[in-house]
Amino acid sequence: MHKIGFDNDLYLKTQSEKIIERISKFGGKLYLEFGGKLFDDNHASRVLPGFAPDSKIRMLEKLKDEAEVVITINASDIEKNKLRSDLGITYDMDVLRLIDAFRGYGMYVSSVVLSCFEGQASAVAYQHKLEQLGIKVYRHYQIPGYPSNIQYIVSDQGYGKNDYIETSRRLVVVTAPGPGSGKMATCLSQIYHDSKRGIRAGYAKFETFPIWNIPLKHPVNLAYEAATADLNDVNMIDPFHLEAYGETTINYNRDVEIFPVLNAMFERIMGTSPYKSPTDMGVNMVGNCIIDDEVVCEAAKNEIVRRYYQTRCLVRKGQAHEDEVYQLQLLMEQAKVDASSRKVAAAAVQRAAETGGPAAAIELHDGSIVTGKTSKLLGASAAMLLNALKKLAGIEKEVDLISSHVIEPIRHLKVEHLGNTNPRLHTDEVLIALSICALSDENAEKAMEQLCNLRGCEVHTSVILSQTDTNVFRKIGVNLTSEPVYQTKKLYHG
């Protein structure tokens, strides 16, 4: 069993209480800018052992009777078919996914906002599509001089031109498919319109990382920098909070840089700004729920190393810049950890050297390492998967979980009828074959029952995996890294 470093129950309680407290501060109406992943924050669950990936949505679920959701999408992102790389879907499709997901938790999604709207044909078509689905849509326009020309922005020609979003509940959660969607601008536009209508409303920001009340170079905060290396986010001491209160708190560069502008907007809309620092705007209670700092530090260091390996693979694929690798090397130095600390990486590379072909390794929760090699029947990842399930189920290594009578027809189908050049079974094909064998074979059934015990295990492969294998490992819930090399010299890798 992995050690727990985070009290999730305490988090659900204190975080919802903090939001309710902030609503009261503004007289009963709060626009809450919600950043990060709501439904599946796997980064948080990795660096804060004990944090459930769905903690944030479960926390909001506690407030569902007094909350509504507004989803903002940048019209330019619709035009560009911007992709959410972790899901492989466009931002406009992700809005539909988010609506379904919120509704699945019984939460009320009141509308969608098209930000930076300039009459883009695809955005107009998207609005029509949403309205046909019964979803209210509002337009917020591109404002010249945003965000520096405050006098123009906070006027009838700036925010005043935007559609006013009709809301009915005291907590309005403003979220989006990804960064740059216009969440903050949506909140401020609403506060401007509310003030014109005599409605007192406030703004707060919900971000899980960086954690404001732990040290700047704490491994958890360094792990956040590692996760956002592509965005050039840098954690820093909040100078405004230090000046106002004499307290050292942590924020990130973009919030610190925009705060003077944001503060001036608040003063122009409300008369006085309710906040003295970017830290003041936040409602994050994560830092208060860390119960074992040693466990959390170790988990965060492991995450930084994983990010290093993942970024090296992205560079190899042409999807990241070499500078990001250098940045991650620096973060590893600051966290006093290096790539050699990843035991499964060394095991996979050693196994590949011994066999002369691709290999894979997995570290189980008891610390033991199981490997898999490439054979005529199975790819290395598929072999490792079966070997790990055998070990967990207490089945001897020599036992075949899948009969060759099952494997051969699948190989024949792949090569002779589906045109595949690789006859070896992928991880998904192996799991399907194993599930079929489990109907009549006791060992296969015992192995299948252990699949859930792979969640959270560490996996490393000696070559970059196919998208099929990568997707299977993501669904199983293992933490996957690879060496930045391909198995073949082909230019196209499916």
For 462-475, give the DSSP string.
SSPPPHHHHHHHHH
User: Residue 234: inside a domain, yes or no?
Assistant: no
User: Residue 81: inside a domain, yes or no?
Assistant: yes
Q: What is the predicted pLDDT for the residue at 419? A: 87
Return the SS3 of 331: helix
Confidence of residue 55 (pLDDT cuts 50, 70, 90): very high
Type of residue numbered 74: N
**pLDDT tens digits for range 470-483:** 999 999 999 999 99
Q: CA nearest 211: which of 223, 226, 229?
A: 223
Instruction: Note whether 269 and 395 are same-domain residues.
Output: no
Instruction: Note whether 19 and 137 are same-domain residues.
Output: yes
The pLDDT mean for the chain works out to 94
**Weakest mean pLDDT among 249-258, 316-325, 459-468, 482-491:** 482-491
Residue 1 confidence (pLDDT) above 60 = no
**pLDDT tens digits for range 413-446:** 988 998 888 888 999 999 999 999 999 999 999 9
Q: CA nearest 206: which of 6, 53, 18, 8?
A: 18
**What average pLDDT does range 89-113 have in this prediction?**
97
What CATH number has the domain bearing residue 424?
3.40.140.40
Residue 383 confidence (pLDDT) above 80 = yes
Confidence of residue 56 (pLDDT cuts 50, 70, 90): very high
Q: What is the predicted pLDDT for the residue at 217? A: 98
Confidence of residue 85 (pLDDT cuts 50, 70, 90): low
Return the SS3 of 33: strand
If one counts the domains in the chain, the total is 2
**Percent of the chain having pLDDT more than 90?**
87
Segments forming the whole domain that contains residue 169? 8-214+239-289
What CATH number has the domain bearing residue 274?
3.10.630.10
Q: What is the predicted pLDDT for the residue at 494? A: 54
**pLDDT tens digits for range 367-376:** 999 999 999 9
Q: Are 391 and 384 in contact (CB under 8 A)?
A: no
Instruction: Note whether 268 and 361 are same-domain residues.
Output: no
Q: Are 80 and 178 in contact (CB under 8 A)?
A: no
Residue 488 confidence (pLDDT) above 80 = no
> Strand pairing partners for 141?
117
Last residue of a domain, one of 289, 321, 354: 289
User: Residue 121: inside a domain, yes or no?
Assistant: yes
Instruction: Note whether 88 and 203 are same-domain residues.
Output: yes
User: Residue 443: inside a domain, yes or no?
Assistant: yes
Q: What is the predicted pLDDT for the residue at 370? A: 98
Calculate the dihedral angle through the C-alpha atoms of 297, 303, 309, 311, rounding to the nearest 10 degrees.
-120
Instruction: Note whether 267 and 352 are same-domain residues.
Output: no
User: Residue 233: inside a domain, yes or no?
Assistant: no
Instruction: DSSP for 426-463, please give it.
Output: PHHHHHHHHHHHTTT-HHHHHHHHTGGGGTT-EEEESS
Instruction: Note whether 446 and 361 are same-domain residues.
Output: yes
**pLDDT tens digits for range 201-260:** 999 999 999 999 999 999 999 999 999 998 888 999 999 999 999 999 999 998 999 999
Please tell me the chain's helix, strand, coil percentages from 3-state DSSP, rounded to the nearest 5: 50, 15, 35
Instruction: Note whether 166 and 73 are same-domain residues.
Output: yes
CB within 8 Å of 60: residues ≥ 6 apart: 38, 67, 105, 107, 173
**pLDDT tens digits for range 113-172:** 999 999 999 999 999 999 999 999 999 999 999 988 999 999 999 999 999 999 999 999
Q: What is the predicted pLDDT for the residue at 421? A: 81
**What is the Cα–Cα distance from 451 to 362, expressed in whole angstroms?**
13
**What average pLDDT does range 14-32 have in this prediction?**
95
**What is the Cα–Cα distance from 365 to 383, expressed in whole angstroms?**
19
Return the SS3 of 422: coil
Residue 490 confidence (pLDDT) above 90 = no
Q: What is the predicted pLDDT for the residue at 358? A: 96
Q: What is the predicted pLDDT for the residue at 444? A: 97
Instruction: Note whether 250 and 376 are same-domain residues.
Output: no
